[in-house]
Each structure stands twice: as structure tokens, then as C-alpha cells.
């Protein structure tokens, strides 16, 4: 009986190792199809109240789950024009949800722009995505224009490049998203906010974290140094604000935060505790920062994206059915939303011949950074970890079998 149990475990270990090896080594088949299946899962979860549940876990859980659902559809619809009409309908559905009372409840209506730069920036970016799908109407364009003007006015009249997301609280990453939405407006509608974006970059460069040379994590109520969770998001959007500035910032970010086993929350050589921004830290690595870095690496055309995505497929326990796909048994839908958003990441403004990004006029393809391909040796520790249990079990069975044969012969 014991031998049969061990054989069964050894077979399971071998199958797991084989599947894991395939995810690490074989070429990707159709990542876009996987994202569409994830979106089918997310839609069902949202209709079941997953966004309300997420709000109880994260300060912006309701908003993030809905806005990421919409942004995923933007990326799917742009990459596959046949889906643009369906994508536009889903984006409008997401916009209606974040404009609802549940969507605006966590934010202060009196801030400038209204509800704060976090809410305004992400919402405007999603509105720009709706325009980019090519299925918009006059009302969509008017809303995009009015909200862009409101954001631009707030930056023009502020004494700081980093606007408040909540009363007395400001994070630079939120302002980066808002400025990127103005660049998207210039690329899609008409050049209008270029000078505001250029002024923002100039003033932001004067406020870099002296310890790392990166944009800080938080500036109000106090200034805190650069951190992986906000840097990963910054690098995703900064490419559409100023590719040259983004190139230097991304290189520093990789040097100080990216390791062989994920993305650190604090720069190499320093430590700190996890919080609501980073989530729980595992040996100093942030899961959320690692997931978002997949998207940042993709928009920078960095092969790092492939490595991190494959590791995610390995440890994320993905389950793909006929119509849906989910990770970690679907226990954390907001995690699925971030994974899909990172997997299908693409520049929206900066020229990128490989992904069809738009050129805002002053940003050419020469500003896009090229990275060398990563050595395949990063797979070796994972392959050892995958195959070692199976080899030990089969080896033990083999030794036991040989021992029994010798005993019979004796």
C-alpha cells in the first residue's frame, strides 16, 4: 500500500514538473485569448459584488477593480479591432460603475481636480482609452475634453507637480497617470497640453529622491523614498509622458529594485515593512510590484517581462477553462485584473512599431529604449525546484526495488 501511495505521489510530482517546465520553456501560444478569458471571469465576479468586497480590503478596491477591467478591454480592443465594439461597450460599463456613488465614495469631491488626482487621472486615462478604440461619440469626446481641461487647470495653478489624491496626502505616481492622460488627449484629439506636460517633467526632475534618483513614493504629509510598488506603476505610465526621462528612470528602477526572484519593495541594501500599498512582503519582495513590473517591462520592450510573466504562470496556479481563466483559484479578483492588465500592456502614446503605440508629435521611436535579451539560466533554479521532488521519489522507489531483489536473491 505504501509503495502504491509513493508511486501515485511520484506521478503527480512528475506531471507538475512537466507542466511547470512547459510554462517556463515553451513559446507563448495566444496571450490575448488568455486575457479575454480572464475578463470573462472578472465580469462575472464584478456582477457578483467582487468590487464591493475589494473595497473592504483595499482603500481603492472598488475603483481599481472596475477601472482595470475597463483598461484591459481597451488593450484587447486596440490589439484586435474586431473586438473594438464589444470593448467599447465594456469600457462604458466600467466608466458608469466608477462614476457611481460606490465609485466616488472614498474620494473628496472638493479637491482639484474633483475627487483628487488619483480618481481624476485614472478615469481620464480610461476615457482616453475609449476614444482610442475608435467607437466614441460626441458625448465621449466632450467628457474627455472637459476632464482633461480640469486636470490641466489643476496642474497649472498648483505650486507642486504632485497633486493631492486625498486631503493632505499626495503620491507622485497619481500625478504621473494624470499627466499621461493629457498626453493621450494630445495624441488622440488635438495638441493642447504639451507645455503643461513639459513643465511638469521639469519640476518633477527637481524633486527626485536623492537616495535613488527616482521619483519618491509619497510627498505629503511627508516625503518618503522610492518604493517598488509605486515605481512599477510609474514606469508603466512615464513612457507615455516623456520617453527619454522614462528611459533613465526605468534603468535606475531595474538596477535598484529588480532581482532574480521578483521586485523588491525597498531599494537593494535597505529594508522596510509591508503595508497596504505593497501587500505582504516575501523576503523583501512585493507580489503587487512584481506583477505590475511585467507591464512596465512590456511597454519598455524589456525581455524581463517574459521572465516575470513565466514565473507568474508557474507560481500563480492558473486554471484555464473553456471560457474563463483565473489565478489562485480566483480568490483575489483584483490580482487577476492586474495580471491581465500587465500581460496585455502596450504604450498608448509613445511610438512603438511593435505594439502600434501612437506618437504625440515630440516623441519619436528613437526615444524607445532597447534591452538585451536575458540569459536563459534564470530557469535553472526553477527547473531544479520542479524536478527534484519527482527525482527523489522515483529514486527512492528504485532503491527500494533493488533492495527487495537483493533480499530475494539472498
Q: What is the 3-state secondary structure (H, E, C) of 17-73?
A: HHHHHHHHHCCCCCHHHHHHHHHHHHHHHHHCCHHHHHHCCCCCHHHHHHHHHHHHH
Which pLDDT score is estimated for 365? 38
Distance of alpha carbon 217 from alpha carbon 256, whole angstroms: 14
Answering whether pTM is above 0.85, one says yes
Instruction: Say whether 206 sits in a helix, a strand or coil.
Output: coil
Q: Which run of H or of E encompasses 388?
A: helix 379-409
Cβ proximity of 181 and 151 under 8 Å: yes
Cβ proximity of 163 and 178 under 8 Å: yes
pLDDT tens track of the chain, all 410 residues?
Answer: 778 888 898 899 898 889 888 878 887 665 667 899 999 999 999 999 999 999 998 889 999 999 999 999 999 999 999 999 999 999 999 999 999 999 999 999 999 999 999 999 999 999 999 999 999 999 999 999 999 999 999 999 999 999 999 999 999 999 999 999 999 999 999 999 999 999 999 999 999 999 999 999 999 999 999 999 999 999 999 999 999 999 999 999 999 999 988 999 999 999 999 998 999 999 999 999 999 999 999 999 999 999 999 998 888 889 989 999 999 989 999 999 999 999 999 999 987 533 345 543 333 333 444 565 567 777 788 788 889 998 998 888 888 777 777 777 77
CB proximity list for 263: less than 8 A, separation 6 or greater: 228, 232, 257, 285, 286, 289, 290, 293
Eight-class DSSP state of 367: G
Show the cell assigned to 360.
Answer: 504625440
CB proximity list for 275: less than 8 A, separation 6 or greater: none
Closest CA to 74 of 35, 103, 37: 35
CB proximity list for 16: less than 8 A, separation 6 or greater: 386, 390
Distance of alpha carbon 249 from alpha carbon 244, whole angstroms: 9
281-282/319-320 β-pairing: unpaired
Which pLDDT score is estimated for 370? 52
Which pLDDT score is estimated for 29? 63
Amino acid at each position: 500500500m505504501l509503495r502504491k501511495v509513493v508511486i501515485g505521489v511520484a506521478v503527480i510530482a512528475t506531471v507538475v514538473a512537466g507542466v511547470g517546465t512547459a510554462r517556463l520553456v515553451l513559446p507563448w501560444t495566444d496571450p490575448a485569448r488568455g486575457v479575454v478569458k480572464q475578463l470573462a471571469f472578472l465580469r462575472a465576479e464584478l456582477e457578483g459584488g467582487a468590487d464591493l468586497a475589494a473595497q473592504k480590503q483595499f482603500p481603492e478596491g472598488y475603483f481599481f477593480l472596475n477601472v482595470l477591467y475597463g483598461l484591459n478591454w481597451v488593450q484587447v480592443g486596440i490589439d484586435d479591432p474586431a473586438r473594438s465594439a464589444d470593448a467599447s461597450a465594456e469600457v462604458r460599463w466600467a466608466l458608469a460603475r466608477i462614476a457611481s456613488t460606490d465609485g466616488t465614495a472614498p474620494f473628496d469631491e472638493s479637491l482639484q481636480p474633483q475627487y483628487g488626482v488619483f480618481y481624476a487621472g485614472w478615469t481620464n486615462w480610461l476615457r482616453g482609452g475609449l476614444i482610442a478604440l475608435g467607437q466614441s461619440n460626441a458625448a465621449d469626446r466632450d467628457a474627455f475634453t472637459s476632464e482633461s481641461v480640469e486636470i490641466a487647470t489643476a496642474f497649472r495653478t498648483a505650486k507642486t507637480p504632485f497633486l493631492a489624491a486625498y486631503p493632505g496626502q499626495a503620491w507622485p505616481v497619481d500625478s504621473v497617470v494624470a499627466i499621461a492622460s493629457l498626453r493621450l488627449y494630445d495624441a488622440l484629439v488635438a495638441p493642447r497640453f504639451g507645455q503643461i506636460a513639459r513643465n511638469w517633467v521639469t519640476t518633477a526632475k527637481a524633486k527626485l529622491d536623492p537616495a535613488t534618483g527616482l521619483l519618491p513614493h509619497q510627498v505629503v504629509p511627508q516625503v518618503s523614498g522610492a518604493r517598488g510598488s509605486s515605481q512599477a506603476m510609474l514606469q508603466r505610465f512615464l513612457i507615455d509622458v516623456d520617453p527619454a526621462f522614462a528611459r533613465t528612470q526605468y534603468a535606475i528602477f531595474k538596477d535598484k529594485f529588480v532581482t532574480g526572484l521578483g521586485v523588491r519593495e525597498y531599494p537593494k541594501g535597505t529594508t522596510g515593512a509591508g503595508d497596504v500599498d505593497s501587500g505582504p512582503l516575501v523576503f523583501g519582495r512585493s507580489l503587487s510590484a512584481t506583477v505590475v513590473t511585467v507591464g512596465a517591462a512590456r511597454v519598455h520592450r524589456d525581455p524581463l517581462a517574459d521572465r516575470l510573466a513565466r514565473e507568474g504562470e508557474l507560481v500563480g496556479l492558473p486554471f484555464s477553462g473553456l471560457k474563463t481563466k483565473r489565478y489562485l483559484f480566483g480568490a483575489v479578483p483584483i490580482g487577476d485584473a492586474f495580471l491581465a492588465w500587465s500581460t496585455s500592456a502596450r504604450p498608448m502614446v509613445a511610438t512603438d512599431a511593435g505594439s502600434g503605440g501612437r506618437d504625440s508629435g515630440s516623441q519619436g521611436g528613437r526615444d524607445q529604449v532597447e534591452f538585451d535579451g536575458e540569459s536563459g539560466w534564470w530557469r535553472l533554479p526553477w527547473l531544479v525546484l520542479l524536478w527534484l521532488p519527482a527525482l527523489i521519489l522515483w529514486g527512492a522507489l528504485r532503491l527500494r526495488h533493488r533492495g527487495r531483489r537483493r533480499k530475494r536473491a539472498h
